[in-house]
Structure 1
Amino acid sequence: MSDSQIVNRRSRNSNLLRRYQLHIILAVVVFCSLTCLYFALGYAPARASLLYGPPANALSISDRIEYSARLLAYGDTLKSPYDPNGFEQSFFVEQGELVISIANRLEEAGLISNAQAFYDYAVYAGIDLTIQSGEYTLSPALSIIDIARALQKFSPSDATLVILPGWRMEEIAASIPTSGLEFSSEAFLALAQTPPPALEFVPSSSSMEGFFFPDLYTLPRSTTPEQLLDIIARNFAQHLTEELRTGFANQGLDIHQAVTLASIVEREAIHHEEAPLIASVYLNRLAIGMKLDADPTVQYAVGYNSFQGTWWTNPISAADLEFDSPFNTYIYTGLPPTPISNPSLEALYAVAYPQASTYFYFRAACDNSGYHVFASTLEEQIANGCP
Structure 2
Amino acid sequence: MQPMPRPSRASQATPSGSRSLILLGLILRSLVFLLTIGTVIGSGAIAWAHLQEQWADKPDPERALALAQPGTPRPLTLATLEDYVIELYLRFREADLMRPAAETTTRVRFTVSPGETAAQIADRLEQEGLITDADLFRLYIRHEGIDARLEAGEFELSPGMTIPEIAQALLQARAREVVVTIPEGLRAEEVAELLEQAEVTDGDAFLALVRSGDLSSVGLSGYDFLTDRPEGASLEGYLFPDTYRFPVNAQPAEILRIFLDNFDRRVTPELRQEAAARGLSLYTVLTLASIVERETALPEERPIVASVYFNRLAKGMHLNADPTVQYAMGYQPDTGQWWKSPVTLEEYRSVISPYNTYLNPGLPPGPICSPGLSAIEAVIRPADTDYLYFVATGDGGHVFARTLEEHQANIKRYQGR
Distance 1:250 1:266 in 2: 23
What does 1:294-333 correspond to in 2, within 5 Å? Answer: 294-322=321-349, 323-333=351-361
Checking the alignment, whether the CA contact within 8 Å between 2:267 and 2:373 is kept in structure 1 is no
Identity among equivalent positions (%) equals 44
Distance 1:243 1:361 in 2: 31
**What is residue 184 of structure 2 aligned with on the other side?**
165
Q: Determine whether 1:381 maps to 2:407.
A: yes
Aligned residues: 230
What does 1:156-305 correspond to in 2, within 5 Å? Answer: 157-181=176-200, 183-195=201-213, 196=215, 197=221, 198=223, 199-305=226-332
Checking the alignment, whether the CA contact within 8 Å between 2:354 and 2:360 is kept in structure 1 is yes
Cα deviation, residue 223, structure 1: 2.4
The verdict on how the C-alpha distance between 1:381 and 1:247 changes in structure 2, with shifts beyond 3 A counting, is farther
Specify the code of the residue in structure 1 equivalent to 2:363.
L
Checking the alignment, whether the CA contact within 8 Å between 1:244 and 1:348 is kept in structure 2 is no
Specify the code of the residue in structure 1 equivalent to 2:185.
G
Q: Determine whether 1:345 maps to 2:363.
A: no
Cα deviation, residue 319, structure 1: 2.8
What secondary structure is seen at the aligned counterpart in 1 of 2:273? helix
Q: If the length of structure 2 is used for normalisation, what is the TM-score?
A: 0.53
What secondary structure is seen at the aligned counterpart in 2 of 1:291? coil
Cα deviation, residue 352, structure 1: 0.3
The verdict on how the C-alpha distance between 1:369 and 1:250 changes in structure 2, with shifts beyond 3 A counting, is farther
Checking the alignment, whether the CA contact within 8 Å between 1:214 and 1:342 is kept in structure 2 is yes
Specify the code of the residue in structure 2 equivalent to 1:381.
H
387, 390, 397: which one pairs with 1:359? 387
**What is residue 369 of structure 1 aligned with on the other side?**
395
Deviation track 1:44-70 (CA, whole Å, cap 9, x = no partner) reads xxxxxxxxxxxxxxxxxxxxxxxxxxx
Deviation track 1:181-203 (CA, whole Å, cap 9, x = no partner) reads 2x321111111123333233322
Where structure 1 has 5 or more consecutive residues not aligned to the other structure, the ranges are 1-154
What does 1:23-102 correspond to in 2, within 5 Å? Answer: none
Specify the code of the residue in structure 1 equivalent to 2:176.
S
Specify the code of the residue in structure 2 equivalent to 1:342.
S
Distance 2:316 2:308 in 1: 12
Distance 2:316 2:279 in 1: 14
Aligned-residue CA RMSD (Å) = 1.7
Distance 1:201 1:162 in 2: 28
Distance 2:264 2:279 in 1: 20
Deviation track 1:62-104 (CA, whole Å, cap 9, x = no partner) reads xxxxxxxxxxxxxxxxxxxxxxxxxxxxxxxxxxxxxxxxxxx
What secondary structure is seen at the aligned counterpart in 2 of 1:175? helix
Distance 1:231 1:337 in 2: 25
Cα deviation, residue 279, structure 1: 0.3
Kindly name which structure, 1 or 2, has the bigger radius of gyration based on alpha carbons: 2
